[in-house]
């Protein structure tokens, strides 16, 4: 039997538009922005979401290699 997941500490999200993604989480979903240089991020539901720009190695797609959940 797998242990129950109690929470996510953080995850990364690869996006094609950092500013737009951050605005969505803050303005639409009510997340709290994290004031730091890099990576831009928000806190949503007690989980930190770090936003990273898409590039040749990371693409904004479900299950892509650029995703990280911890």
User: What pLDDT, in 10s, does the model give residues 16-68?
Assistant: 899 999 999 999 999 999 999 899 999 998 889 999 888 776 655 555 445 55
Predicted local confidence at residue 68, as pLDDT: 54
Residue 7 domain flag? no
pTM of the model: 0.73
- Domain count across the chain: 1
Residue 5 lies in a domain: no
34 belongs to a structural domain: yes
C-alpha 37, offset from chain centre:
15
Instruction: From 47, 69, 65, select the one nearest 56 (Cα to Cα).
Output: 65
Domain extent at residue 57: 14-69
Q: How far is CA 62 from the centre of its chain?
A: 12
More confidently predicted of 4 and 28: 28
Distance CA 3, CA 19 (A): 36
Does 31 map to a domain? yes
Q: Calculate mean pLDDT across residues 6-19.
A: 84
């Amino acid at each position: 039997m797998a242990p129950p997941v109690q929470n996510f500490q953080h995850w990364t999200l690869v996006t094609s538009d950092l500013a737009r993604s951050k605005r969505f989480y803050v303005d639409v979903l009510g997340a709290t922005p994290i004031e730091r240089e890099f990576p831009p991020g928000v806190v949503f539901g007690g989980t930190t979401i770090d936003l990273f720009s898409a590039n040749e190695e990371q693409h904004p797609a479900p299950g892509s290699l650029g995703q990280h959940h911890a």
